[in-house]
Amino acid sequence: MKMYDAKSIRNVCLLSHQSVGKTSLLEAACFTSKGTAKMGKIDNGSSVFDARPDEKERKMTISMAAGFCEWDNGKINFLDIPGFLDFQGDAIAALRVVESALILIDAAVGVQVGTEIMSRHVESSKMPHLFFVNKIDKDNVDFEKTVAHIKESFGASVAPLTIPMGTGAALKGIIDLIGMQAYEYQREGNGIGKKIDIPANLSDEIKTMRQTLMESIAESDEELMNIFFDKSELTDAEMRQGLAKGVAAGTIFPLLCGSATQNIGIDVLLSTIMHLCPSAETRKEVEVIEGDQKKMVPCGGKTNPALAFAFKTLSEEHLGEINLVRVFNGRLATGQEYTNQVRNNTERMGNMYFLRGRDRTDTNEIPTGDIGGLLKLKDTHTNESLADKTLKYRVTPTAFPEPLFSVAIKAKTKGDDDKIGAGLNKLREEDPTFIYRFQSDIHQSILSGMGDVHIDIILDGLRNRFKVEVDKMQPKISYRETIVKAAKYIEYTHKKQTGGAGQYARVFIDLEPLPRGGGYEFVDKIVGGVIDQSFRPSVDKGVRAKLDEGIVAGYPIVDVRVSLVDGKTHPVDSKDIAFQVAGREVFKKAFEMCSPILLEPIVDLKATVPDDSTGDVMGDLSSRRGKIAGMEPNGKYQSISAKVPASEVQNYSQALRAITQGRGHFTKTFSHYDPVPPDVAKKIIEKGKAEQAQPAE
């Protein structure tokens, strides 16, 4: 196929709430541009984009997909982003490598929660964007009301460029307000609109809407404003010029409409993207890391040393891994070698593709500004850079949000634990938004993701690809044990006589609490050699063993100082093991005399919620023993800061979603440990002792 220069390339990501029609739009775009022979459908499993078995089963996009269209002497690369919020990490990754976004709205429903959240990512990245009102063919669509809702949500700078001719079953086509041209379509046809006259009954309304659009464009540009004042109008070319400048500057957001499943309005959308969206050439610099320093470097030079960024790793059955890459400088070419700047290994380019979902078009190169797929690299994965060996920097990795939902997992089949780790490590090369770790203090393997559906998808992959079944359970909380008062000169004698050489150790310790965060200290205060120097570390070793085991409820012990103050040895029977036992037992005895308590982890929680949910969220946090630390306005939202026990917000994402109708989001980070209230501690201790009493498997 033809190679396009960066000036002719548009890189666009598709974003919306789930089930608004992003994948259907991409199917229609590829069919209309003659990239595919037929239009795939999600409902019957024929989509070339939602082609994974789990996507077909769930009828939803689970992983980012790439597709491209050749249109108006240029190329549009689309990245189809899952709408389900558990997978919003793909949106964050995609926005790193595109120059514009297309936000879809359901014509019958209006702006939904997922659309709001996805748009926040777009706004925070200062990404030029357009809107597309999809599903105009649905019954009971009120286009004017939908546009009003969009403007209410995203501001008056939203500017309709097309409007529908009819809605629902009466939908015939669309009207272009700039060219003052109506287009009629055959439902589920080839997607190319037939030019017809604007219906007479809509003529006055169209003129009024075009005048409003013209004024909006003029207001966004001083030069056009002067022309408009002089002539009271703008030409079509001036309107398009003003729109392109306004889109790039983020001062105007064009809105188009149509139906993806009926293939209506998609051709006009493609032309609009080519004419209004910034080209790949407009990206003049990229953030990189050289050594430990971040800096901006120029990009876009097609003759510069190659620099490409792997922003997504896909896995296809019977094919292997494909890395989606954006080339920021130079080009990638088959047969050439490039350095993985993260792993410092060399990769030789083999098979390269331009992707349309599961369909692949072979290429010998991926030029500057373009997006393509690299098959079966030796050891390159998401967030890693490939570069010419002369370069000393790498593209700054994408910062993904911290996982907020965790489960403990355990292999159903004994001996499969190693397979779990190997499988999840492989899956994480494709999806860096989850974390898997063994938490030694609670003796559980913890899988953390963006939500319950995300976790289920990961475990489906573990089962289907690596043949490992696991049980899920609620993770334990990382409680700690400590003391609140001191005890002096506590004694323990260990004697053991079995006929041969015996064991003997006598020790005296002082035990006292340390400030919170003080950890553990062992102080040797022996004078006069009552305990041989060689045995004193053994006492410390015995104490440390008990620190890990816990005494009250089986949780690690912290913030204590043990002072070895006296003791006695036997010339024959004293040995290392005897003093370890004595150290362990004297510590247990002293600990129980020092008013032991439980400590619980406290997290700093920051919830961003709609204004009208603020009171309910604050009340809910208070009911979870949270302490509200402050509140700050954030546009139409409020950011609430609180310190809350970790045990009370284990599954907080589900609760916050229910309170805010899905519009709230939060972050949490560990803050400190605080004493557990006595009534709560009693239940934890009882449960801990019961678990300790159970026989080990």
Q: What is the pLDDT of residues 529-548, one digit of tens each?
A: 899 999 999 999 999 999 99
pLDDT for 187 equals: 95
d(CA 305, CA 291): 19
What share of the chain has pLDDT > 70, as a percent?
Answer: 99
pLDDT for 695 equals: 59
Instruction: Say if domain 598-680 classifies as CATH 3.30.70.240.
Output: yes
Hey, how many other C-beta atoms are within 10 angstroms of the C-beta on 429? 17
pLDDT for 52 equals: 84
Contacts of 394 (CB under 8 A, 6+ apart): 288, 289, 341, 342, 384, 385, 387
Contacts of 151 (CB under 8 A, 6+ apart): 158
| Residue 118: strand, helix, or coil | helix
The mean pLDDT of 576-601, rounded to a whole number, is 96
Q: Write down the CATH number for the domain with range 405-473.
A: 3.30.70.870
Output phi, psi for 352, to 5 deg: -125, 145
Q: Are 78 and 69 in contact (CB under 8 A)?
A: yes
Pick from 98, 108, 104: which is nearest to 119 by CA? 104
More confident residue, 674 or 113: 674
Q: What is the pLDDT of residues 74-96, one digit of tens each?
A: 999 999 999 988 899 999 999 99
Q: Are 671 and 643 in contact (CB under 8 A)?
A: yes
Q: Terminus-to-terminus CA distance in the chain, angstroms?
A: 61
Confidence class of residue 663 from pLDDT cuts 50, 70 and 90?
Answer: confident
pLDDT for 130 equals: 97
Instruction: Say if domain 481-594 classifies as CATH 3.30.230.10.
Output: yes
Residue 26 has which token pair? 């991409």
Confidence class of residue 391 from pLDDT cuts 50, 70 and 90?
Answer: very high
d(CA 253, CA 493): 81
Residue 153 has which token pair? 């949500």
Q: Strand 173-176 vs strand 181-184: parallel, antiparallel, or unpaired?
A: antiparallel
Indicate whether 318 pLDDT > 90: no
pLDDT for 230 equals: 86
Q: What is the pLDDT of residues 239-296, one digit of tens each?
A: 999 999 999 999 999 999 999 999 999 999 999 999 999 999 999 999 999 999 999 9
Determine which helix (DSSP H) or strand (DSSP E) holds 688, and give its type and residue range.
helix 678-693
d(CA 130, CA 276): 9
Determine which helix (DSSP H) or strand (DSSP E) holds 628, and give its type and residue range.
strand 627-634
Q: Are 552 and 688 in contact (CB under 8 A)?
A: yes
Q: What is the pLDDT of residues 414-437, one digit of tens each?
A: 888 889 999 999 899 889 999 999
The reply to whether 598-680 shares the fold of 481-594 is: no
Cα 442 to chain centroid distance, Å, stands at: 26
Instruction: Say if domain 289-395 classifies as CATH 2.40.37.20.
Output: no
Domain ranges of the chain: 6-282, 289-395, 405-473, 481-594, 598-680
Q: What is the pLDDT of residues 598-624, one digit of tens each?
A: 999 999 999 999 999 999 999 999 999
Round the average pLDDT of the chain to a whole number and report it: 93
Pick from 125, 150, 148, 126: which is nearest to 16 by CA? 150
The mean pLDDT of 475-484, rounded to a whole number, is 96
Confidence class of residue 687 from pLDDT cuts 50, 70 and 90?
Answer: confident
Instruction: Say if domain 6-282 classifies as CATH 3.40.50.300.
Output: yes
The mean pLDDT of 106-125, rounded to a whole number, is 92
Cα Dmax for the chain: 115
Beta pairing partners, 182: 175, 196
d(CA 300, CA 61): 31
Q: Are 664 and 610 in contact (CB under 8 A)?
A: yes
| Residue 478: strand, helix, or coil | coil
Q: Strand 394-395 vs strand 345-348: parallel, antiparallel, or unpaired?
A: unpaired
Angle between helices 452-466 and 417-430 (to 10 degrees): 110
d(CA 404, CA 143): 37
